[in-house]
A and B are shown apart, each in its own frame.
Chain A
């Protein structure tokens, strides 16, 4: 049986990269990953039930995606408040990404969150429609639709 500590060790890097790809915010990524593992720890490990989860990685993905949705909504409001008082949002992460990963990474980051999530899970997480849907809490058809809309948008931004 995999211990929770081993599960953390095996998945910590992938977890924080997933949140990074969805948020481009280091502090948020660290917070969400900590919260996600804490949620799983409190729910399962303390009850000695961790080994009973069929697919802990799938569970973790869903907790993380849910956390990103929660945080993004809150931060959206905070960011708008900052704009009101004339403080620009830091863009260093996006600028970094622009330089190293090219305009396509930026274009992905500018997609609506649900489309971005679907794209990241599909092409970085290598998940099929059903697993994407499970992570996002939607139907497979919805996941397929989100991917279709996202790739249509990205095709406009992509110059081979």
Chain B
């Protein structure tokens, strides 16, 4: 090892000593926020980045979901088979599809921002759009040295754009400059640059009905939402005070998996609240009743169905079982449940009168 290599090693050794200390005990997955971790369990680690980045995520969360108004209805002023509200949202959108590819996922979206995943059976690409005012930020982000190779200007849908390849990968993304209220981004890994560029010629703008008709069947429309929730709740014991109306009124979900997470999460929040309160008060009968309801979730059909689509059921069951087992099993012991972790993982609202969150790591 030469002097430089020795110096690098010494510098890194000293630098590493400045690192913070990691929590001493494994406490299980403490999932922050009301995250539905549907992609955790599928593919092995990859270089794929989350498509929605900071800022856009908040905008997505705040956006009125199109699925909140997707309803086969009144014929509307446009003669569409869809309701006037959804037509208005669709009209304000880019309404871009990919010839030969089908839409497999449509996150909640509004007139301002949205994201869809397309598949040809072998590959997936994501198409997102956002407000023109965000374009400079996204362009700067995608152009960041060390993250991407800039492959030059391109023309997509007759609009100028920029093609990037993420370093050390075959993942490409194209930012298409705004032409009106939106910019577009097309992102995917198709095995080669040529295959990716082939997508440009397949992109086309369609009419409102064609675009809405292309939505995947998994999208739950308001017209079917109540029935879907009814069906999901079959066989599920409901806690006292369960607010079914709030569930019906929600517009923050878009497909069956996410609706299932919303429904089962709402039920669980009620039971966990009862369990925590009863435990704190020493009411063992009420605590046991709540625990039994939660543990019965292993037989809830919607959770069993959802296991194929993501990790929500597994996380749900881990916490449910902890009510009967004395805590979350860490392999080296049990870590007691607390309201903060359960609320953070299952998306429960802050409960009035909840005790202050206690740290889970001794």
Interface residues of A (CB under 8 A from B): 3-6, 8-9, 12-13, 15-17, 19-21, 26, 29-30, 33-34, 37-39, 41-43, 45-46, 59, 62-63, 66, 69-70, 72-74, 76-78, 80-81, 93, 96-97, 100-102, 104-105, 108, 112-115, 119-120, 123-124, 136-138, 142, 151, 154-155, 158, 160
Contact = CB atoms under 8 A, between A and B. Distances in A.
Interface string B1-22: 0011101110111111111111
B199 interface: no
B278 to A, nearest CB: 27
Contacts of A113: 146-147
Given A33-B22, A66-B45, A120-B12, 15 more contacts: A5-B26, A5-B332, A20-B15, A63-B45, A70-B50, A100-B14, A108-B15, A119-B8, A124-B12, A124-B16, A138-B168, A142-B168, A154-B4, A154-B8, A158-B4
B14 A69 contact: no
Contacts of A30: 20, 22-23
Given A6-B332, A108-B8, A160-B7, A77 B47 contact: no
B140 interface: yes
Closest 7 CB pairs of A and B: A5-B331, A112-B146, A20-B19, A5-B332, A12-B22, A8-B26, A38-B29
Interface SS of chain A: helix, strand, loop or mixed? helix
B159 to A, nearest CB: 23
B236 interface: no
Contacts, number: 172
B245 interface: no
Secondary structure call for the B interface: loop
B75 to A, nearest CB: 43
B314 A80 contact: no
Nearest to A76: B144
A104 B146 contact: no
B192 interface: no
Interface residues of B, number: 56
A96 B20 CA distance: 13
B178 interface: no
Contact of B53 (A9, A20, A74): A74
Interface of B: 3-5, 7-9, 11-26, 28-31, 37, 40-41, 45-47, 49-50, 53-55, 137-138, 140-141, 144-147, 167-169, 311, 314-315, 318, 330-333
Given A12-B22, A119-B8, A123-B9, A73 B16 contact: no
Given A66-B45, A155-B4, A101 B40 contact: no
9 contacts: A38-B31, A42-B29, A73-B141, A77-B141, A100-B15, A101-B18, A104-B7, A112-B145, A124-B9
Contact of A16 (B22, B37, B53, B145): B22
Contacts of A9: 24-26, 332
Contacts of B49: 69-70, 73
A124 to B, nearest CB: 4
B53 A137 contact: no
Nearest to A98: B15
B232 to A, nearest CB: 23
B20 to A, nearest CB: 4
A77 B16 contact: no
A151 to B, nearest CB: 7
Given A5-B331, A8-B26, A73-B144, A108 B40 contact: no
A137 B331 contact: no
A42 B331 CA distance: 13
A29 B20 contact: yes
A96 B18 contact: yes
Contacts of B8: 104, 108, 119, 123, 151, 154
Given A105-B14, A137-B168, A21 B19 contact: yes
Given A43-B41, A160-B7, A21 B15 contact: yes
A21 B16 contact: yes
A95 to B, nearest CB: 11
A19 B15 CA distance: 12
Contacts of A97: 15, 18
Contacts of B47: 66, 69, 137
A8 B27 CA distance: 10
B19 A17 contact: yes
Contact of B54 (A6, A78, A154): A78
A76 B18 contact: no
Contacts of B50: 70, 74
Nearest to A109: B15
Contacts of A112: 145-146
B54 A77 contact: yes
Contact of B3 (A34, A108, A160): A160
